[in-house]
């Protein structure tokens, strides 16, 4: 999951002027030219990781759309900023990004089309996007360092706030990583906003110099033996354990919360690229199998993942996830309310 920055963004947009030549029968010539022109490439803007981008490209290339699209990669906050600033005037025909961005911009600007194909998700999903991948949070430990440090394995995220874990943990910072939001959702759900914010503050204090802007950094610290305990994306720790590394994962009692990324079609009215809906469907129909290998979270009915990739306590936050809710949680845990 790519990093997010603080959500106060400045975005520069370029104005593009379309010029057309004039002639005595310009209207007729324009109609003939438009009729003979091939469909324009579908422009895809995505915040997805490299593995997810490749899975989507493979699905499109192997199912009739090779050369028919242009995929551009952005950081999460960068793409969110473009969507906020440009709305329906954005160059992209298709967008893949975290669903909380899609929900926020649809509520504000009604900028996405309803999908014209059917999906069968496990959890209720709005009509204007289809999930492409899911990420689930969990605790993990370096078993060797944990033993050397004489520490008990935690069972709850709140355990990391205890004094004995000071200097031995690494967690992501909600101001820099959406992975941290999974941890925050879990603690706030279990303890309420007031106490939950105090717990998060104590965890961050215990992390000290190991409070990370990147969601993958805590696991890297564990691999290097710099800390004993961390929080991050569950499937990454599962993969490390399978490789024989001294890494183990723990499903916290507060629950395994989830964030999803999804594909949506930008509503440009009669200027909407006719292939955009088809490519969105192709990504879901033909790309999910490969995406599921890299991000083993079942999102659609009938999908299965290995036993070790099934979290013990999957949960969703009680409120719809939006950019505004993320901002509120950032302020809450940083004591800005």
Q: Which domain holds residue 44?
A: 39-133+259-309
φ, ψ for residue 127 (rounded to 5)?
A: -75, -10
55 and 88: one domain?
yes
Domain contains 11: no
For the chain, the domain total comes to 2
Domain contains 273: yes
pLDDT in tens, 188-235: 999 999 999 999 999 999 999 999 998 889 999 999 999 999 999 999
Domain contains 112: yes
Domain contains 19: no
120 and 161: one domain?
no
156 and 253: one domain?
yes
192 and 237: one domain?
yes
Instruction: Write down the pLDDT at residue 177.
Output: 85
pLDDT in tens, 5-36: 444 333 333 333 333 333 334 444 434 333 33
Which tokens go with 312?
């013990």
Domain contains 15: no
What is the β-pairing status of strands 247-250 and 256-265?
unpaired
**CB under 8 Å to 84, separation ≥6 — which residues?**
9, 11, 105
Domain contains 218: yes
193 and 282: one domain?
no
Domain contains 30: no
Q: Identify the weakest region by mean pLDDT among 54-63, 260-269, 309-318.
A: 309-318
pLDDT in tens, 83-94: 999 999 999 999
156 and 176: one domain?
yes
161 and 198: one domain?
yes
**For residues 167 and 264, is the Cβ–Cβ distance under 8 A?**
no
Domain contains 18: no
Cβ neighbourhood burial of 166 (10 Å; 0-12, 13-18, 19+): middle
Predicted TM-score (pTM) of the model is: 0.80
pLDDT in tens, 144-154: 999 999 999 99
CATH of the domain at 161: 3.40.190.10
170 and 253: one domain?
yes
126 and 244: one domain?
no
């Amino acid at each position: 999951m790519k990093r997010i920055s603080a959500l106060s963004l400045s975005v520069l947009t370029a104005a593009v002027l379309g010029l057309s030549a004039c002639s005595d029968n310009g209207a007729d010539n324009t109609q003939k030219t438009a009729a003979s022109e091939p469909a324009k490439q579908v422009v895809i803007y995505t915040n997805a990781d490299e593995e997810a981008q490749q899975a989507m490209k493979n699905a499109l290339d192997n199912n009739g759309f090779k050369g028919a699209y242009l995929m551009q990669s952005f950081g999460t906050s960068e793409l969110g900023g473009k969507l906020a600033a440009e709305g329906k005037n954005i160059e992209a025909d298709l967008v893949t990004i975290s669903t909380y961005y899609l929900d926020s911009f649809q509520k504000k600007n009604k900028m996405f089309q309803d999908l014209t194909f059917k999906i069968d998700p496990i959890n209720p999903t709005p009509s204007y996007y289809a999930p492409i991948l899911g990420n689930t949070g969990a605790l993990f430990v370096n078993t060797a360092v944990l033993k050397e440090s004489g520490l008990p394995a935690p069972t709850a995220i709140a355990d990391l706030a205890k004094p004995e874990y000071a200097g031995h943990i690494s967690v992501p910072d909600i101001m820099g990583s959406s992975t941290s939001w999974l941890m925050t959702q879990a603690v706030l759900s279990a303890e309420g906003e007031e106490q939950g914010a105090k717990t998060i503050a104590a965890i961050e204090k215990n992390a000290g110099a190991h409070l990370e802007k990147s969601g993958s950094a805590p696991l890297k610290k564990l691999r290097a033996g710099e800390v004993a305990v961390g929080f991050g994306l569950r499937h990454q720790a599962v993969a490390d354990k399978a490789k024989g590394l001294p890494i183990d994962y723990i499903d916290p009692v507060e629950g395994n919360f989830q964030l999803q990324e999804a594909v949506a079609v930008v509503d440009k009215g009669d200027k909407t690229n006719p292939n955009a809906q088809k490519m969105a469907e192709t990504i879901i129909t033909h790309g999910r199998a490969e995406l599921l290998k890299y991000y083993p979270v079942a999102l659609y009915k009938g999908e299965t993942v290995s036993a070790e990739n099934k979290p013990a306590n999957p949960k969703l936050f009680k409120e719809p996830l939006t950019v505004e809710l993320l901002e509120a949680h950032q302020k809450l845990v940083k004591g800005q309310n």
